[in-house]
Structure 1
Amino acid sequence: MSMNNNNNSNPHGPSSSGPVPSFPGPRAHTQPERQTFPSKTPNSHLQTEPAPTATAAAATARRKKHKPNERQLREKALAILPESEIYTQLLDVEARVDAALARKKVDIQEALKNPPRIQKTLRILDAPFVSEILCFLNDYTDNNVITWENSQSSVAHEGFEVKRKGDREFPAQIRLEMNYVPPALREVLGVQVDTRSRIVSAIWYYVKARKSQNLNDPSFFQCDQALQRVFGEDKVKFTMVLQKISQHLFPSQVILLEHMIKLSGNSPVGSACYDVMVDIPFPIQRELNALVPNVERTKENDVCDESICGIIRKIHEHHRRRAFLVGFSQSSLEFIKALVESQNKDLKVLLGESGQNAEKDRKSDFFKQPWVEDAIVCYLNRKPAAGSVVK
C-alpha cells in the first residue's frame, strides 16, 4: 500500500477511523487517538438554525440532549491544559446548583399540594336541599296548584313569587319535599340532604381521595367497608353508581306548611339562609402554580451548553492532532509502520475482505490443502455462459 494515498487528504493526521496505533516502550502514551478531521471551518459546528415551533423545539431538545460526559475534559487533555482546573471547578459548582434547584423544586411542589387557605363566609340558601315545592291555593279554581322542581332549574334561584288577584284573606298550603340520603350513604358522604348529581360527584371524590380506583381496570373501584354497606359488592363499575344509589334515594317525609295570606300588616317577605365559614385557596395560588415551570431549563441555557460542548469537541480534536504529531516526532519509523498497518486493516474492511485472512492467501502453502483439488474440478466443470468461447 502506498503511504501517500493514505496521508495526502489530511496532513494533520490519519484519514479514517480504525484501531489506535500502539507503540512499545515508554512512548505508548504519546500515540494519537485516530479520528477523521472535518474539513469545515472550526466554528461551523456552532452555527444555530432558525428557531422552530414549540413542539418541534421540544422534540429537537430531546434529540440534542447532551450526555453528562460531553462537557467534561478528558484526563489526557487536562494534563496539558492547567487552566482547565477552573473549568472543572465550575462544573462541580453547576452540579451542586442543579441539585439544589431540583430539591427546591420538589419542596415547592410539595408546598403547592397543601396551599395556604383563608377563611370566607359561605351563604347557603335552602333551595339546594328542596327537591320540589307545591303551593295549593284552594280559593282559586284556575291554576290553584303551583309546582317548582329543583331538577328542572339549570341555575340557582334564591326564591320565586306567586301572585293572584284577590280582595280577602285566605289560607294557603305549602308542601316541601326534601332530598334525603339514607343512613348508609350518609355515613359515606357526611350529608343528609343533597341532590342526585351531587351525591354521585361526592362518591367519585370519596373514591379518588382514598385511591380506591382499580389499577388494572380504571372503570371499576374497590369498595371499602362503608361502600360495601351501600352497594353490597366488593367492586363496582362507575357507570353503575347512578343506578345502584337509586334504591337509597327516596322522598323524605313531606313537610306541610299552613300560611295565611293577609292583606294588612307588615309584609312577611324575607329569606332564610345559613352562613358557614369555609377555607378557600390563597388568592395568589395561580402565580405560585406558575412558579415551577419557570425554574425549568431555558433556551438560553441550552444555547450555552451547545456552545460549551462545541468548544470541548474542538479541544479534544486539537489534542488528538497534537498527540499524532508528538508520536511522529518521537519515533517516526515505528509510528509510520503502525499507521500503515492500521490503514491496511481499514482498507480491507472497506473492500469487504475482513472475513478472509489475506496474509495466508499470499503463501503457496495455502493452495496445497486437500480442498484445492475439489475446487479445481468444480471450477472446470462449470457450465459455460451462453455465447462464451471455451479455449
Structure 2
Amino acid sequence: MEHQAAQRRARKPTDRNLPDSIEDLVIGEGVKQYNKLREMEKRLDATMMRKRLEVQDSMSRHQKREKTMRIWISNTCSEQPWQMSQNEEENVAFDSLGEPKYRVEIKGKLLEEPEDDSDSEDDVDSNGKEQEGAAKNSKERLPSSRPFTFFFKALKVEFDEAFMGDPNYNIAWKKPPTHTPEQDFDHFTFQRKSDENMNVNICLTRDEQPERFKLSPGLAKTLDMIEADRAEVVMGLWDYVKAMGLQEDDERRTIRCDENLRALFGVDTISFPQIPERILPHLLPLDPIRLPYTIRLDKEFHENPEPTVYDIDVRVEDPVRALYLKMTQNPQHQTQLREIAELDDHLAVLVQAIHHSKARHDFFTGMANDPVGFCKKWMASQKKDLSVILAEAEKGDFSGLEFAKGGKDGVWNTDLVKEAVRYRMAKDDAAPLPPRR
C-alpha cells in the first residue's frame, strides 16, 4: 500500500507554471494576472516559512519573561491584655482570661501590566456604556493569573533564636511531588500564642521549570550570570569557547582550557560533550527569598494597622507562546491547510491540461501552416526515435558503430562490461534450480 501511494505521489503533477507564449493564445490579461499571483505566492511562502521557523525556534527555547508579584504580610491578634476593657480587668480573674494569640496572613498576587488607555476618551459616549463594554471585554481577554503558591515550592517562617528549639514555632510548607494546579492557593495563614512583638523571616523557595541554579563564583564570573538553567550554562560556555577561540584545529570537539576554564574543570583540555556533566558541582540551589516582618501585638499598631508589602520578580511563561500553541494546534488550522493543499493539487492538474492543450495546438498549427514540411519533420523525428529504441544507426550516423566494433579496443573489452558479465553470471548461479519432474 505504501509503495502504491508513493507511485501515485510520483505521478502527481507538480508544475504550476504556464507554458511559454501561452499569452498569445489567451484573450485578456488572465496569464499576466496568474503570473503576478504566482510571484506573490512565492513571496508569501517564503515569509510564512521564515515565520514558521521563528515560531519553532521560539517554542523550543522556552523563553520566559519577568513579572511582578506583590506580597502582603499582615497579622491580627486576640486575647491580648490591652484588648480587655477596664471593667473586665476588674471583674474577671486573671486566670480565667484566654491565652493571647496572633494570626499571620501572607497573600500574593501577580500584578497585571497596565493597559494602554491613551485613546479611551474617544471611545466613551455620554452614558458611558461603551467604556463599560470595553472594560468588560478587556477583562474577558485577560488570562487568569497563576495562584501565589504556583511560583514557589517551599515556604518557611524563621523565628528568633529564642524560639528555634520550640516545635510549636516550626512553620513550613512544601509542595508535594504529586502536586496539581488545583491545589495551589493565594494566601497562607498560621496562628500561634504570644503577647510580645517578634521579628520573623519569611523564606520563599522559587519553583522554576526548567530548574534554575545559582552559579558558583568561578562559573558566574566566566559567564557573567548569577543564575541560569543547565541549557543556558552549556550554551553560555559554548559561546565563550567560540569567542575566545579555544577549539582545537584538528578536533573541534576538544576545548583548550584557558585560565577561567582551568579553574572550573581542573584540566588543560576537555571534550565539549563532557561539559554538561562537569558543570554539575558548580550548579548550586537557589537562595530563598527572605522577607523580614515584625509581628506587632501592641495597641498603637492595631489602632491603624497596615500590611507590609513586598514586590518580587517571578518568571512566567511568555503569553505569545500560548498564542503560538493555539495557532499550531488548532484543528481548524489543519483543516484549512488540507483544503489549500487540495486546491494546489487541483491547480497543478489544470496547468498540466493547459500544457497538453498547448502542445496539441502547436502540433495542428504547424501542420496547417506547412502540411508537407511538417509531415517530413514529423516522420524524421519518429524515425530517429525508432532507431534509438532499436539501437540501430541511421545512414550517415556513426553513433551506433561504437557497439559494433570488437577486438581489444572495442567497448566489449572494457572493465565495465566484464564486471557486468560477472554480476550477471553470479546472479544466474545464485538462482535456485528448477524442480525435477
Pick the structure with more strand per residue: 2
If the TM-score is normalised by the length of the shorter chain, which range does it land in?
Answer: 0.3 to 0.5
Larger radius of gyration: 1
TM-score, scaled relative to structure 1: 0.42
Q: Which has the higher contact order (CA 8 A, sep 6+)?
A: 1
